[in-house]
Structure 1
Amino acid sequence: MRRLAMRHVGRLLAGLMVVAAVSAGATAASATDDGSGSTDVARARVAADVLMHSYDPVKAWWPSSWWNSAVALQTIGDYMQRTGDRRYVGQLDNTFEKDKGVFPPGVLSGDPLLGNFTSRAIDDSEWWGLTWVQAYDLTGNRKYLDMAETIATYAYGYWDPGTCGGGVWWDAEKTYKNAVTNGLFIRLTAELHNRIPGDRTWLSRATTAWHWFTASGLINSSGLVNDGLTSACASNGQTVWSYNQGLAIGAGMELWRATHDPSVRATALRLADAGITSSALNDNGVLRESCDPLGSTCDDNAKQFKGVFLRYLMDVADTTHDPRYTGFVARQAASIWATDRNAGGQLGERWAGATSATSPNTFDWRTQASALSALIAAVPTPAPRWSLSATLSPATPVVIPASGGPTTVDLDLSVAATSPGPVPMTATVGVTGPDGWTVTAARRSVSLRPNGSATPATGTVPVRVQVPADAADGHHTVNATVGADPDLSFQATADILVTHTIDFDTGTPAEQTWIADADGSQSNGVQNRFADNDHYIVYRFPLPADTAHASVTLAIDNEFLVQAGPDGTSWSTVLREDREIHDGSNRADRTVDLTPYLGPDKAVYVRVADSFPQDGWGGRVAHVSVSFG
């Protein structure tokens, strides 16, 4: 099945349109941070909330990637454990209970799921094993540790000393022995030993696997981990991916805790040193994947690799407190926060923020989870109990009527705080906008009553923005700053786009302005947004109050189902491909009259889905333009 089965692998308008696409805390925190780490906690909280916004509570995952969902859930667990915030424990258990059964291919994975989070993909299974160990550490609930042990037992069934002297096969077909599967196996088995009193079995397996791994040739002369072994049991010399490096580091650190063998620790630190200094994995001190540079594209797997490296480098930094590692962690978090966030508060693929018209930075829940790991690693231990964060909610896009005059954009400034105990807090609020704009907060302060860290106290302040009729096309910034004792400050930013047209390529930052619901749709680059199986993409187009007619033109191919509606809940089919087409040969510009579907507020919604949901070749959209008058 396409994609889901791949694992690695107009005219000038009389009306003026204003769209507010708002950042979740989309600028750096206050320069007055006292260095206690309170701002690090706040940044991680904002980023975790953005990630959880993409979580599907029905299927209990992040559509639509199975192993990536395991890592995302593990990252949320890391966040909760690191900060004390416990708001997402329910989602963790929701996933455990809903997804532990047997599922046919295409439901949660391209492969059939065999139950207990296992499949023919041994590495996918092991990712879930690590997730459930993390859940056990967070909650103390033995069912999670038992599940991790079940998964490890399944993986051990693919340990094969008859080929290459050992190692766990990557897949049930036994076609490849590689670094990821074995790095995962060592970390998982060592974690089990360190949590099961009296264990000797998992310790023996972890130790044997470590000795095999370090002697296999997977670690090259530069201290970097290559992808896997050839059929002749030699390193294949393939790409050094950051997650393979990270897993090898993490495996060594956990095994050292189990054995106290200084040689194991020394190897782990040698791998860490290579990972943070090699030009293969770094550019000017910022971690990068080989697919990160401009002109290249990372697939959905590689988008998440760097976060795995940071998870296990965090282990090294926490254990050694060596400035080489703590400084590297801090540098990644600072670069992400300063350069790698978009107008929706998402964190991107390129941690140094590189982007161009032809090779834009990518932002989705996978890149969010990856970068969140760096923000988590920057939180000191123990985490500060005081913290203050703020976000500006996404505003409903507004169209200025053709008659002109200012347009009002209403935002909500959400403030969240934690404290050591039940301590009343008053957060002061200040808002600013571009010259000539009027930006007003409904109140100058918000009262909060935080009581610990488990559930941050929250409050909301309405913010009204008056956009002048002569506002220039382009992006305009509205800033909101909140502050409170003791010496806490945070800034949230709204990015308001003023434009005369709706015309964009998919897979670009411009597209994000118009997405009302991405569901499980995916983008593999510019002009390549697709919605397979039971997933879809919904665009919302708010039009001027005096709009009499409207149409949308879609460059679209494959097995598309296009629907329109006035409210985002009721739909009428307006385009449908009735042939099973998998090669894009039916790509064409197709225009649909949207006039019958204009809502009372003149907004109209367009949804693209899959006309043959069983085969996974749904509608693929390259370009969208809307005309109205």
Structure 2
Amino acid sequence: MKLLQKLTALLIVFLVHKHVAVAQLNQSLGTKSLQSPENHKNTAAREAFEVWYWEYDLENRKGFWDQAEMMEVVLDAYEVTKDRAYLKRFDRLYQNFIAVHREDWMYNEFNDDIAWAVLFCVRAYKFTGNKVYLQKAKDQFDKMYARAYTPSYGGGLIWNESKTSKNACINGPAMVACCYLAQSTGDNSYYNKAIDLYKWSKTYLFNPETGKVNDAINLDKATQTIKVFPWSSTYNQGTYMGAAVMLYKHTKDPEYLENARKIAHYTKDTMYKGQVINNEDNGDDLPGFKGIFARYARSYIAETKDKLMAEWMLLNAKTAYENRNSSGLIHTRWGTKTPEARPESAFGCSTAVSLLMNTSSL
């Protein structure tokens, strides 16, 4: 089966680079005509997805949060294309995730890991109506929230059960998860949790005047004062932007949408000076960050029709795609050519797939 999968990926690349008709490529993939109006814009995204998905054997990986976020990319592909083949793949990924990490994930002391996994569950329910996904999302979120929320520093969620810091990387995805859970269950107490976390974040983690999202806060033991860690990253900018859009849609309070606009433009103008995102390439985690940003940029642009933001995201997508290697893989440094040797990080290569999928409808 693995050999067949690799051969399929190689065939796709061969067809693309030999300029065979798109209809033939479509037939080999077993999808609707890529020339049809709903698909012609995402041909490049589908090509990149196929090569990435099979090259890194996504259905047999063992990771937790990185795998969770790559599973969200599969859901992005469905949300953009409406091709239910992606949902079948997602279910296989879900079954593998449960086989590796068991039914109860509370053994994992990283609360942000739980939040990321909850997101793929609750989004899968949204797209399929399968209550198994919703039950898992609700059960695991409720358990995580109960242990992660503490009154220290005035509220917010702890990043890790062995630590005392409260980080954007848990509070951001938790807010988004709350909004999805409220939508899916009809229980508005989840919206109330999201609103409380958002309000708390404005004290320490999020500057609503500039749109900057700080990384974390912790107690400085020497001074017994709260220390803010000011580093900003694409994934935290993304989740806070996404949460603001979702809370605007729920409350109709324009402040949320204005906050989302500031987050988007802080990322574009201050962090990247309007240029292509070409960093966050070190270690195991950073390479996957910017794909998360791309997901929430799509929701922001869909809500606001922000032309400048759309143009910037399309610039990133065009540049990343042009920098693919001869196999069709695109590494996480979107502004530089992908080496011919297969990039080590599947998570890093997922970012361009997310980018191409999430910009294909712009």
1:363: how far off? 5.9
> Could you tell me whether the CA contact under 8 Å between 1:127 and 1:184 is conserved in 2?
yes
1:98: how far off? 4.0
1:208: how far off? 0.7
Paired position in structure 2 for 1:67: 65
Paired position in structure 2 for 1:345: 328
Q: Which amino acid is the alignment partner of residue 70 of structure 1?
A: A
Q: CA, structure 1 residues 216+94, in 2 after alignment: closer, same or farther (shift >3 Å)? A: same
Q: Which amino acid is the alignment partner of residue 328 of structure 1?
A: W
Distance 2:351 2:330 in 1: 8
- From 236, 248, 262, the counterpart of 1:244: 236
> Could you tell me whether the CA contact under 8 Å between 1:218 and 1:235 is conserved in 2?
no
Say whether 1:288 aligns with 2:278. Answer: yes
Unaligned runs of 5+ in 2: 1-9, 22-33, 220-224
> Could you tell me whether the CA contact under 8 Å between 1:26 and 1:342 is conserved in 2?
no
Distance 2:102 2:253 in 1: 37
1:177: how far off? 0.9
- From 249, 254, 265, the counterpart of 1:262: 254
Distance 1:287 1:169 in 2: 29
Say whether 1:209 aligns with 2:197. Answer: yes
Paired position in structure 2 for 1:477: none
Paired position in structure 2 for 1:138: 127
Paired position in structure 1 for 2:74: 76
Distance 2:19 2:169 in 1: 34
- Cα deviations across residues 212-250 of structure 1 (Å, max 9, x unaligned)? 11222443864221211121333222x211111111111
> Could you tell me whether the CA contact under 8 Å between 1:190 and 1:202 is conserved in 2?
yes
- From 284, 292, 316, the counterpart of 1:308: 292
Q: CA, structure 1 residues 190+284, in 2 after alignment: closer, same or farther (shift >3 Å)? A: closer
Structure having the higher helix fraction is: 2
- Cα deviations across residues 128-185 of structure 1 (Å, max 9, x unaligned)? 1001122112212122122111121022113434211111111122432101100011
Paired position in structure 1 for 2:169: 180
- From 312, 316, 331, the counterpart of 1:328: 312
TM-score by length of 2: 0.83
Q: CA, structure 1 residues 203+27, in 2 after alignment: closer, same or farther (shift >3 Å)? A: farther
Q: Which amino acid is the alignment partner of residue 315 of structure 1?
A: S
1:80: how far off? 1.3
- Cα deviations across residues 448-467 of structure 1 (Å, max 9, x unaligned)? xxxxxxxxxxxxxxxxxxxx
Paired position in structure 2 for 1:233: 226
Distance 1:122 1:65 in 2: 15
Structure having the higher strand fraction is: 1
> Could you tell me whether the CA contact under 8 Å between 1:243 and 1:308 is conserved in 2?
yes
1:37: how far off? 7.3
Q: Which has the larger radius of gyration?
A: 1
Paired position in structure 2 for 1:165: 154
1:89: how far off? 2.2
- Cα deviations across residues 304-339 of structure 1 (Å, max 9, x unaligned)? 101001110010111112211221221111111112
Distance 1:331 1:47 in 2: 17
Q: CA, structure 1 residues 182+29, in 2 after alignment: closer, same or farther (shift >3 Å)? A: farther
Within 5 Å, give how 1:193-592 maps onto structure 2: 193-197=182-186, 199-219=187-207, 222-231=210-219, 232-237=225-230, 239-278=231-270, 280=271, 282=272, 285-289=275-279, 291-292=280-281, 298-339=282-323, 341-353=324-336, 362=343, 364-380=345-361
**Partner SS for 1:229:** strand
Unaligned runs of 5+ in 1: 1-19, 102-107, 293-297, 382-629
> Could you tell me whether the CA contact under 8 Å between 1:123 and 1:170 is conserved in 2?
yes
Distance 1:369 1:52 in 2: 9
**Percent pairwise identity:** 24
Paired position in structure 1 for 2:45: 44
- Cα deviations across residues 374-427 of structure 1 (Å, max 9, x unaligned)? 11122227xxxxxxxxxxxxxxxxxxxxxxxxxxxxxxxxxxxxxxxxxxxxxx
Alignment RMSD (CA, Å): 3.0
1:364: how far off? 3.9
TM-score by length of 1: 0.49
> Could you tell me whether the CA contact under 8 Å between 2:238 and 2:297 is conserved in 1?
yes
Q: CA, structure 1 residues 189+147, in 2 after alignment: closer, same or farther (shift >3 Å)? A: same
**Partner SS for 1:230:** strand
- Cα deviations across residues 552-598 of structure 1 (Å, max 9, x unaligned)? xxxxxxxxxxxxxxxxxxxxxxxxxxxxxxxxxxxxxxxxxxxxxxx
Distance 1:125 1:286 in 2: 31
> Could you tell me whether the CA contact under 8 Å between 2:284 and 2:345 is conserved in 1?
no
